Structure 1
């Protein structure tokens, strides 16, 4: 079947999507500069699917290398673009890093495919909604001023993609606005592998539970929520990966909504940080050492998605719940303890 380029394909969501693409009959091709991932993930993917995916190591911010890759790989029919800097807190501290990485990589890809018909799936985020006025948030909700440079890069990237699709019929584009990916593959062979201090909640939870970190800090306990902690729509990374396959399939058969479309990818349910901790303790049997600290700049108080459109038009639904998310994340952390990947 079709060859699909997966940028950032050795990363957390990218590696799971590579597996699901292969399971669906596609041939995934990975480009990654390994700035936030590990080459050994290719071996882990091979253990799951039986073959090692084609891999190219370079930085998508290098326009010459992107152009060369596209010219020498003419049979690629689709792109799933993950490669980007993605931590809300870090983006507040290092905005220029985020604007450079997230825009240059996207623009170089779009320029390289400018004269070729291409199906393009973009890794976007619910951060484009900012602090929503109405919950659950739908795709028609207004895009509000971003609360972080990371969120701003997603908003502007979506504008770039929409205008590109309107100007050039070669592009068929879907932006997936997903919520908070957690969990790991059922084999416990791939999962979230943060380099240095984790930027997301679940690795901090699992690393604290296994003893890598002494204590977990919950950022903020005085928000306007039932227990004072932020509320998020957590989604299992395998369900999220399957959404990207569904998006490629929709683009291949022709999206009746036109050359550009957006979909929320979540479960439609909101869990607070403290509820996520409780769910992890239940799934793992481990009591967590955590404290409630001050709020973190850039955090949204509460957001969860209306996923009706994804169900009806994308033909996709989340099937794995909070228990499976927590149990699989813990299985992955225990695997890493016995099989270090570094």
Structure 2
């Protein structure tokens, strides 16, 4: 077809990029939250809004996230690309409705495209000692957040759940169809929150879209070593505890192993570890599955747009195998002492991740050696964590 002068160039002019979608991440400065934030920044499609009360995290993590994202920008970055690399951060306690509302008011109705809700207390052992604290922080805060979201027409929700919802599962590896029967207040708080989200999606199927992601055991750190896991106080999880022992922050002469008489290959508990960056990418896939053109919910058995997925590798590792992998990564000679079983622990939590692979395109390719290497890289570069800043 003949073109009049100027028509061709105008017809094929590059379309202006789609505006950034604001995504609110609760617990954005935390271990998992910070890696999710970076994954969103790297797409240059989202503007991240972080809310955190820094109960178990540090503001310095957000500063470093901005540094990593800005360093990755092209030389000729557009203003929109530069905007995507900078996190909007708010100090906010999710159990305080006024503080939550103030964040949403800043952006107005429809101003936040979706929410990834990561913030929670997460220690199985601690939850058995202070259950009310866990139910307030993990369940009541989720209700408050959802109420505020609804008021501001923000109806896309990715929820950070946990493999602890399965309790002691009857089948290994664990499919999502397994009955939910947690053994600890922490796990029960996750079941309660999942139930609330599903009920909301049932009540308003034309508004809400939500996905719960049942984490198995995230490990490692961003390969830059600039962000990683830095729990306040003594680490409650195995890998950061081993890293703290190797770097000298925890002075224990021996690692206490809680039970070696479980029905597992070496008698110690088995867990499914996946790299935190693979876990973070799972959140991006879930967020994208909430878009209007997504087919993920087409297979739902009722009108509710709600699904739950396991995020894991599908391969279990025992406590003693983890210790050996960290010994190889750090060169530190760990000594172990077997003590009694710990209340709330279950023998084996290994995921069946087939559903997330098939429907979300999720993969967790990085191996245990890489997880331990990246964790040790973070710990060596930051022997005092973020606390030194």
Sort the TM-score into its range (normalised by shorter chain): over 0.9
- 1:19 equivalent to 2:38? Answer yes
Q: Could you tell me which residue of structure 2 aligns to residue 296 of structure 1? A: 342
- 1:113 equivalent to 2:149? Answer yes
- The alignment covers a number of residue pairs equal to 341
**Equivalent of 1:235, from 262, 274, 279?**
274
Q: Could you tell me which residue of structure 2 aligns to residue 251 of structure 1? A: 290
- 1:317 equivalent to 2:356? Answer no
Provide the C-alpha distance between the structure 1 equivalents of 2:154 and 2:106, rounded to a whole number of angstroms: 16
Provide the C-alpha distance between the structure 2 equivalents of 1:96 and 1:298, rounded to a whole number of angstroms: 17
Q: Could you tell me which residue of structure 2 aligns to residue 188 of structure 1? A: 225
| Correspondence list, 1:25-40, <5 A | 25=44, 26-40=46-60
| Correspondence list, 1:27-176, <5 A | 27-50=47-70, 51-74=85-108, 75-115=111-151, 116-144=153-181, 146-168=182-204, 169-176=206-213
Shift of 1:6: 0.2
Q: Are 2:379 and 2:385, in contact at CA under 8 Å, matched by a contact in 1?
A: no
Provide the C-alpha distance between the structure 2 equivalents of 1:231 and 1:96, rounded to a whole number of angstroms: 29
**Equivalent of 2:323, from 269, 277, 285?**
277
Shift of 1:340: 5.3
- Residues 155-204 of structure 1: CA distance to partner in whole angstroms, max 9, x if unpaired? 11110000001111321100000101111001011111110011111111
Provide the C-alpha distance between the structure 2 equivalents of 1:315 and 1:20, rounded to a whole number of angstroms: 16
Deviates more, 1:34-43 or 1:289-298: 289-298
Shift of 1:235: 1.0
- Residues 26-51 of structure 1: CA distance to partner in whole angstroms, max 9, x if unpaired? 11110001111111111221221124
Deviates more, 1:47-56 or 1:242-251: 47-56
Q: Could you tell me which residue of structure 2 aligns to residue 264 of structure 1? A: 310
Shift of 1:338: 7.3
- Residues 288-339 of structure 1: CA distance to partner in whole angstroms, max 9, x if unpaired? 2332222111111111011111111011111211111111111111011277
Deviates more, 1:269-278 or 1:203-212: 203-212
Provide the C-alpha distance between the structure 1 equivalents of 2:259 and 2:114, rounded to a whole number of angstroms: 41
Q: Are 2:35 and 2:277, in contact at CA under 8 Å, matched by a contact in 1?
A: yes
**Which ranges in structure 1 are unaligned for 5 or more consecutive residues?**
none
Q: Are 1:208 and 1:289, in contact at CA under 8 Å, matched by a contact in 2?
A: no
Provide the C-alpha distance between the structure 2 equivalents of 1:263 and 1:340, rounded to a whole number of angstroms: 32
Provide the C-alpha distance between the structure 1 equivalents of 2:49 and 2:102, rounded to a whole number of angstroms: 15
Deviates more, 1:81-90 or 1:217-226: 217-226
Q: Are 2:112 and 2:154, in contact at CA under 8 Å, matched by a contact in 1?
A: no
Q: Are 2:167 and 2:183, in contact at CA under 8 Å, matched by a contact in 1?
A: yes
Q: Are 2:230 and 2:386, in contact at CA under 8 Å, matched by a contact in 1?
A: no
Provide the C-alpha distance between the structure 2 equivalents of 1:211 and 1:193, rounded to a whole number of angstroms: 14
CA RMSD of aligned residues (A): 1.4
Provide the C-alpha distance between the structure 1 equivalents of 2:326 and 2:154, rounded to a whole number of angstroms: 45
Deviates more, 1:132-141 or 1:50-59: 50-59
Check 1:32–1:289 CA distance in 2 against 1; reply closer, same or farther (3 A cut): same
Shift of 1:118: 2.0
Q: Are 1:42 and 1:52, in contact at CA under 8 Å, matched by a contact in 2?
A: no
Q: Are 1:43 and 1:52, in contact at CA under 8 Å, matched by a contact in 2?
A: no
Q: Are 2:270 and 2:318, in contact at CA under 8 Å, matched by a contact in 1?
A: yes
Moved over 6 A (4+): none
Shift of 1:117: 4.3
- Residues 251-302 of structure 1: CA distance to partner in whole angstroms, max 9, x if unpaired? 1133324510000000000000101111111223322233222211111111
Provide the C-alpha distance between the structure 1 equivalents of 2:62 and 2:263, rounded to a whole number of angstroms: 43
Secondary structure in structure 1 of the residue aligned to 2:289: helix
- Residues 7-27 of structure 1: CA distance to partner in whole angstroms, max 9, x if unpaired? 000000000000000112211
Check 1:220–1:171 CA distance in 2 against 1; reply closer, same or farther (3 A cut): same
